[in-house]
């Protein structure tokens, strides 16, 4: 199983844990491109080492190709709040990642595209080990 680890501010951590927030957003930057996309695959006219502007432009123009060919598959996400050893954490199902606009109420800027991480159900019986 492939697990994505993400750190969140308390507001978003609590909203996802309660089930209120159904998506998490990550900017279209080189950092997230490298973390969320399969770097072995390249799109036509799209080198892997891109500037921030080039990443955004490439993803905006070729999002259908990138959504299907480049984005890695994750089974689960472990969300953390903070960096301390005993920080609150929980595990949730990952239902996929798309490139699209996000919801303003969940922290997205209107009109801006993001990596949109679609969230599923809390992993039954597994979060007893993660919650604080």
The CATH number given to whatever domain includes residue 12 is 2.30.130
- Domain count across the chain: 1
3-state secondary structure the chain: CCEEEEECCHHHHHHHHHCCCCEEEECCCHHHHHHHECCCCCCCCCCCCCCHHHHHHHHHHCHHHHHHHCECCCCEEEEECCCCCCCCEEEEEEEEEEEEECCHHHCCCCCCEEEEEEEEEECCCCHHHCCC
pTM of the model: 0.75
Domain span including residue 47: 3-129
pLDDT in tens, the chain (132 residues): 899 999 999 999 999 999 999 999 999 887 888 888 765 444 444 444 445 455 555 555 555 545 545 577 899 999 999 999 899 999 999 998 888 899 999 999 999 988 899 999 887 655 555 554
């Amino acid at each position: 199983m492939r697990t994505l680890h993400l750190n969140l501010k308390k507001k978003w951590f609590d909203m996802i844990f309660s089930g209120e927030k159904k998506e998490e957003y990550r900017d279209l930057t080189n950092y997230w491109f490298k973390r969320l996309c399969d770097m072995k695959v390249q799109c036509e006219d799209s080198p892997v080492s891109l500037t921030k502007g080039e990443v955004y432009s490439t993803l905006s123009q070729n999002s259908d190709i990138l959504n299907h060919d480049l984005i890695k598959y994750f089974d689960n996400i472990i969300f953390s709040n903070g960096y301390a050893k005993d920080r609150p954490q929980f595990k949730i199902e990952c239902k996929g990642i798309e490139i699209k606009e996000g919801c303003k109420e969940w922290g997205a800027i209107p009109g801006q595209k993001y990596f949109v991480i679609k969230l599923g159900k809390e992993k039954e019986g597994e979060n007893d080990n993660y919650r604080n």
